[in-house]
């Protein structure tokens, strides 16, 4: 692939900026070769950086209609990359679950992904902002419930039930609510296909999180290895693959 030196410089500057928090603590925090959770944090950090640069640079190739979605998508992976650097530090230096960083990351990136649903529909049809607000409220209920449960502020199973209710509300909106209807009735094939796959990810891919929560807390206290491995795998699918679906739709329409 041929890239201009300007673009290459921008990519280098971006990665240097993203990597700086990790470099600062390199002396005190070492990754052990048998620490699989730590290694997964590290590997996913790199995948998020690489995905961000790819999505951001590819955005320039597409029509304005898709460009906004691609840029928002790269924000999701950039924000996740930075959180993964910090989460790896917490895990490697304390062996504890980085619950606060995890939920701060989700609290920013999940609403951005809900914006994506709105954007890809708004690009092709007249849609109400209500779609965005309802998806946002569903996300907040889901994440606040989960956080209060995991942080020990409310009963772990009450938090789980509140979280499930928020997720159910999101699923209702994208299948049977206004968003689902707009996609089915007025979107062109490329958008309909992207919307369908994004919806599948929010159904099947997102199911990994409550499963991780359920099985990790089943014994009363969390199993930190299980919890972090499951959440990490889920993030790769639900962030990188989610944006890759939008990229594929944009790429198809551009070709």
* Contact between 238 and ligand RET per CB under 6 A: yes
* Contact between 160 and ligand RET per CB under 6 A: yes
Binders in 120-159 for ligand RET, by CB under 6 A = 142-143, 146
Q: Which is nearer to ligand RET, 55 or 160 (CB)?
A: 160
Part of the chain binding ligand RET (CB under 6 A), chosen from 19-27, 129-137, 190-198, 205-213 = 205-213
* Contact between 47 and ligand RET per CB under 6 A: no
Q: Which is nearer to ligand RET, 68 or 169 (CB)?
A: 169
Q: State in angstroms the smallest separation of the CB of 190 from ligand RET.
A: 23
Part of the chain binding ligand RET (CB under 6 A), chosen from 17-25, 88-96, 162-170, 189-197 = 162-170
Part of the chain binding ligand RET (CB under 6 A), chosen from 34-42, 47-55, 184-192, 207-215 = 207-215
CB-based contact 174:202 (threshold 8 Å): yes
* Contact between 110 and ligand RET per CB under 6 A: yes
* Contact between 89 and ligand RET per CB under 6 A: no
**Which residue from 69, 74, 109, 190 is in contact with ligand RET, where contact means CB under 6 A?**
109
* Contact between 190 and ligand RET per CB under 6 A: no
* Distance between CA atoms of residues 178 and 187, nearest Å: 13
Site for ligand RET, rule CB under 6 A: 106, 109-110, 142-143, 146, 160, 163-164, 167, 206, 209-210, 213, 235, 238-239
């Amino acid at each position: 692939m041929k890239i201009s030196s300007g673009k290459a410089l921008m990519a280098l500057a971006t990665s240097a900026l993203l990597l700086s928090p990790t470099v600062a603590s390199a002396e005190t925090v070492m990754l052990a070769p048998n620490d699989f959770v730590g290694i997964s944090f590290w590997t996913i950090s790199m995948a998020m950086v690489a995905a961000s640069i790819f999505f951001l640079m590819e955005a320039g190739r597409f029509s304005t209609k898709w460009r906004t979605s691609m840029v928002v998508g790269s924000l999701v992976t950039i924000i996740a990359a930075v959180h993964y650097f910090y989460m790896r530090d917490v895990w490697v230096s304390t062996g504890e679950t980085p619950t606060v960083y995890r939920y701060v990351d989700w609290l920013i990136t999940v609403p951005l992904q809900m914006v994506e649903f709105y954007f890809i529909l708004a690009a092709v049809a007249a849609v109400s902002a209500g779609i965005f607000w309802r998806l946002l409220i569903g996300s907040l209920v889901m994440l606040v419930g989960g956080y209060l449960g995991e942080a020990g502020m409310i009963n772990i199973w009450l938090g789980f039930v509140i979280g499930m209710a928020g997720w159910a509300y999101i699923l209702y909106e994208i299948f049977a609510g206004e968003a689902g209807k707009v996609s089915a009735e007025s979107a062109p094939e490329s958008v309909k296909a992207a919307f369908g796959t994004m919806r599948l990810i929010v159904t099947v891919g997102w199911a990994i999180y409550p499963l991780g929560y359920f099985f990790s807390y089943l014994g009363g206290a969390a199993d930190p290895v299980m919890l972090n491995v499951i959440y990490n795998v889920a993030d790769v699918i639900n962030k990188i693959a989610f944006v890759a679906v939008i990229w594929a739709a944009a790429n198809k329409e551009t070709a």
